[in-house]
Amino acid sequence: MADGDSTRDPASAAKLQRLSLVGVSHRSVNAALRGRFFDEEPDQGALLEALRSADWEEALAVATCERLEFVVIARPERAPAAELLQRIARTADVSPVDLAGQSYCHTGTQALRHLFAVAASLDSLVVGEPQILGQMKQCYRASREAGLSGPLLDGALQAAFAAAKRVRSETPIGQQTSSMTLIARQVAEDLHGRFDALKLLWLGLGEMGEMLSGDFLAAGIEHLLVMHSSPLRAEAVARRLACNFAPKETLDHHLAEADIVISDTSAGRFTLDAEQVEAALKRRRRQPMLLIDAGVPSDIEPGVADLDGAFVYDLDDLERLAQSEAGGRAAAEAMAWAVVEEELGRFCQAQAERSAAPSVTALRQHFETVRREVLDQGADDAEAATRLLINRLLHGPSEALRHTAGSDPAAGEALERSLRRLFDLKSAGYKGEEDKGEEET
């Protein structure tokens, strides 16, 4: 495949029309399917091998803990949507019919817009979270190393990463999420004081939970325990964060020991109910417990907040507390989308301009050939030579214009408009006001 310089592929604008993106995300699928798609770590190697065997012109797999998307440039006359959806369904051992209304498909510019939005964290469960950009870069590197990426996707991903960087540096969207983690830490500090002796229990292993857990670790918490329905995934995350993990069956025991609980399973049902938490609080002798509900939908039963010793905050609570520092969500998102649209427009315009480059080169070469032919004929003087040159250059376009106008008036009119625009010509028979005045004089 190419080396990432999209300027070497002048046909990329035409390729854009064959670009397709098909995917599912934590946001698009129901609770019953989330576990099938997102409980296990994605097998990037298997996904890339599936794309390679399908023989796409260019291909990319975006696989994270909350989304699975295939981005391909199909060869001409090939319709990729159904094929890609079937491949996605196969990863979760479900039927494509089961994904009806729970998947999405974008083509052309819309597919690019989605990629840009994902990189800028505008399509994440927690808008503004920073992990997705690093995850996308990792997926892109894997596709390149597998020889699947190519000029258009290389250029598109680089443009998307640049847009994401601008979003984080020029808008409050990233500051808002950072402020939410800071607020969570301040709430915990107000409730518990020093962090070094506290125990943190993280349920679910989602991206917001990782942000919060990482922030608490940085603040001094030394005891972090992760728990997930998939022991393999819990072990992998625990190894990466240098902490401990435990099977889900031991939840009640470890819940009673936790001073801070972060839950972000987003399973569509309550991970913690009032009876569980009440039993844990009794075992703790009512020592306070901070519970952060980062699930979308909620993980913690509303009645938990009424228990003596339980302090429950969800993402909306943290956002409200953070808004005075980072501004409102709607305003921040509007600013971020404006950056995305600007960068998307710039990229698409560059592709269109590059697609015209071969025609401009061919035109220049044609003019040069005609010029040399005229010189070789040895015209007597400059006037004769230039007149011959003009006649030679205009013969082909003039005949094509006459023929088109005679056989298809509408096409002829469109061709004439293009000609006037290309050479900045006035309409036939028209003279400007200055020309008229000189003629009358």
**Catalytically annotated residues:** 65
Helix (H, G, I), strand (E, B) or coil at 300: strand
Judge whether 111 and 118 are in contact, CB under 8 Å.
Answer: no
Judge whether 119 and 163 are in contact, CB under 8 Å.
Answer: yes
Between strands 19-25 and 104-107, the pairing is antiparallel
List beta partners, residue 227. Answer: 203, 246
The DSSP result for 63-89, as a single string, is E-SSEEEEEEEPPTT---HHHHHHHHH
CA–CA distance, 3 with 252 (Å, rounded to integer)? 53
Q: Which residues contact 66 (CB under 8 A, 6 or more apart)?
A: 25, 26, 27, 38, 124, 125, 206, 207
Closest CA to 18 of 111, 87, 88: 111
ω into residue 297 within 30 of 0, thus cis? yes
CA–CA distance, 111 with 20 (Å, rounded to integer)? 6
Closest CA to 127 of 362, 316, 409, 373: 316
Q: Which two structure tokens, joined as six digits, stand for 213?
A: 């857990």
CA–CA distance, 299 with 308 (Å, rounded to integer)? 19
Backbone φ, ψ for residue 298 (5° rounding): -60, 145
To 5 degrees, how large is the angle CA 13–CA 15–CA 17?
85
Closest CA to 61 of 115, 99, 104, 109: 115
Backbone φ, ψ for residue 27 (5° rounding): -80, -30
Q: Report which residue type is found at 427.
A: S
Q: Which residue has the tokens 């938990």?
A: 304
Q: Which two structure tokens, joined as six digits, stand for 285?
A: 């002798």
Judge whether 270 and 299 are in contact, CB under 8 Å.
Answer: yes
State whether the Cα torsion 63-67-68-74 is positive or negative: negative
